[in-house]
Amino acid sequence: MEIEPGIYRHYKGQYYLVIGSVVDHETREIMVLYVPLYLVDGKQQMTVRPIQSFLDKFRKIIAS
């Protein structure tokens, strides 16, 4: 399973830039690498989340 890069919207309304999919080195689980398009604790930071969890909560709105 892969994810297409682009802008996604969380069901609560915030926007995120998806960079792409990555693989957890230890578990081999596919993860989504993304950046919230707002500051978290006063800074911009990348985040990962398991792909199925991401797809359950986010919808793509803009392709890159």
- Residue 59 domain-assigned (yes or no): yes
The continuous run of DSSP H or E covering 51 comes out as helix 51-57
Q: Mean pLDDT score of the chain, rounded to an integer?
A: 92
State how far the Cα of 61 lies from the Cα of 64, in Å rounded to an integer.
Answer: 10
53: CATH: 2.30.30.320
Indicate whether 54 pLDDT > 90: yes
Q: What is the pLDDT of residue 9?
A: 96
Domains of the chain: total: 1
Residue 27 has pLDDT above 80, yes or no: yes
Record the pTM: 0.85
Is 46 part of any domain? yes
The residue segments making up the domain with residue 40 are: 6-63
* Better-scored residue on pLDDT, 63 or 46: 46
Is residue 1, in this structure, part of any structural domain at all? no
**Does residue 63 register a pLDDT over 70?**
no
Q: Is residue 32 part of a domain?
A: yes
**Would you say residue 45 lies in a domain?**
yes
